[in-house]
């Protein structure tokens, strides 16, 4: 690892102003992904701005929403009593990610910014358009078991690896950011992006902007919810496919539905068409299967990940069934 300078920022404003002066500086919070990437020489910043001293760790329950500080730890959110009661889908998704040690270290903001786990991205002797633009995509025609079936491009078929973000996409969260030009809000589903011709960009955060918090509106998805994570072992593995489900069921009729998938795209993949279809329907396996089929429209596989075309709809049906039966 290249040596670097480390600066401790004590407010989001000063963090932004510190980074504004630098060409090759990065924020560091939990470090669970960044330190790893630095060890692998995937990134090599000259300067790190340690933002752990910034007061962004609070979880606040406000009228009509909850605000979660960007530096709140994954385990802190997952085990918060009120989050578990009012936003159980988020708690479930968080608990499904990584290991408890990593959840204790990783921040909410850092979780959103984690890079793909694609092996070609991580191994610097391999081609990867995300790491080195125009160097080619190793995963296309290579080892792509983990890779995307939605929204990929000829440049990149990597997937976003987070579990938390899948729940946040389903719960229609908002991302609050601060940058040299001030503060702004980004719809969670607009935060991550598809690769297109510029896979080096994971998200729509502008240069030198910092995430300060996320907000989730109050909702009725407290009972019939589920986060289903399918992976190659029972724990401590990234999702091959995951499904976040929130249903609002009254008298066996689905009033409202939220569905998002992980492990299938460069961003949390919201299934709006399936959601619309479910609204107003009676709970039944046939309905869920139909929704799953709708959700898979446009899916495309790359060889090793062909199975996701079968696993995807099955996982959706399964997650909906479990959620409805709660």
In the complex, the residues that contact another protein under the rule CB under 8 A are: 1-10, 14, 18, 28, 31-32, 35-36, 38-41, 46, 48, 50, 52, 79, 98-102, 104-105, 117, 119-120, 122-123, 125-126, 138, 141-143, 145, 228, 230, 232-238, 240, 285-286, 289, 306-307, 310-311, 313-315, 317-318
CB-based contacts of 234, cutoff 8 Å, min separation 6: none
Rounded CA separation 238/168 (Å): 17
Place of tokens 């998805």: 221
Min. distance of Cβ 138 from another protein in angstroms? 7
CB-based contacts of 286, cutoff 8 Å, min separation 6: none
Min. distance of Cβ 49 from another protein in angstroms? 9
Structure tokens at 25: 């500086």
Min. distance of Cβ 274 from another protein in angstroms? 15
Closest to another protein by CB, 178 or 215: 178
Closest to another protein by CB, 36 or 172: 36
List Cα–Cα distances, 261 to 5, 138, 157, 221, 313, in angstroms. 39, 24, 16, 17, 10
Min. distance of Cβ 284 from another protein in angstroms? 9
H/E segment holding residue 148: none
Closest to another protein by CB, 18 or 203: 18
Q: If we measure between CA atoms, which residue out of 276, 271, 272 comes closest to residue 254?
A: 276
Closest to another protein by CB, 3 or 63: 3
Min. distance of Cβ 168 from another protein in angstroms? 22
Structure tokens at 241: 């496919």
Closest to another protein by CB, 189 or 229: 229
- Decide: 318 and 325 in contact? Cβ < 8 Å: no
């Amino acid at each position: 690892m290249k040596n670097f300078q480390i600066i401790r920022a004590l407010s989001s404003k000063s963090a932004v102003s510190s980074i504004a002066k630098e060409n090759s500086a990065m924020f560091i919070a939990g470090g669970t992904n960044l330190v790893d990437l630095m060890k692998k020489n995937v990134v090599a910043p000259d300067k790190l701005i340690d933002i752990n001293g910034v007061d962004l760790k609070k979880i606040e329950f406000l009228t009509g929403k909850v605000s979660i500080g960007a530096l709140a730890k994954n385990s802190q959110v997952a085990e918060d009593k009120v989050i578990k009661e009012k936003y159980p889908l988020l708690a479930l998704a968080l608990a499904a990610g990584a290991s408890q040690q990593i959840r204790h270290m990783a921040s909410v903001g850092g979780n959103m910014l984690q890079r793909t786990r694609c092996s070609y991205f991580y191994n610097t002797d391999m081609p990867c358009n995300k790491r080195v633009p125009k160097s080619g995509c190793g995963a296309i025609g290579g080892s792509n078991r983990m890779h995307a079936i939605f929204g990929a491009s000829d440049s990149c078929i990597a997937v976003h690896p987070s579990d938390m973000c899948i729940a946040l996409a389903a719960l229609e969260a908002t991302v609050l950011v601060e940058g040299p030009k001030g503060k702004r809000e980004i719809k969670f589903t607009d935060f991550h992006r598809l690769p297109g011709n510029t896979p080096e960009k994971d998200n729509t955060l502008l240069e030198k902007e910092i995430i300060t918090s996320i907000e989730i509106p109050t909702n009725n998805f407290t009972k019939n919810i589920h986060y289903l994570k399918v992976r190659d072992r029972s724990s401590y593995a990234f999702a091959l496919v995951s499904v976040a489900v929130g249903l609002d069921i009254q008298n066996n009729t689905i009033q409202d539905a939220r569905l998002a998938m992980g492990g299938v795209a460069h961003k949390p993949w919201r299934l709006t068409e399936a959601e619309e279809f479910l609204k107003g329907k009676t709970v039944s396996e046939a309905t869920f299967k139909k929704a799953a089929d709708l959700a898979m429209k446009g899916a495309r596989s790359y060889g090793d990940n062909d199975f996701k075309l079968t696993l995807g709809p099955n996982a959706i049906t399964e997650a909906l069934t479990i959620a409805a039966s709660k």
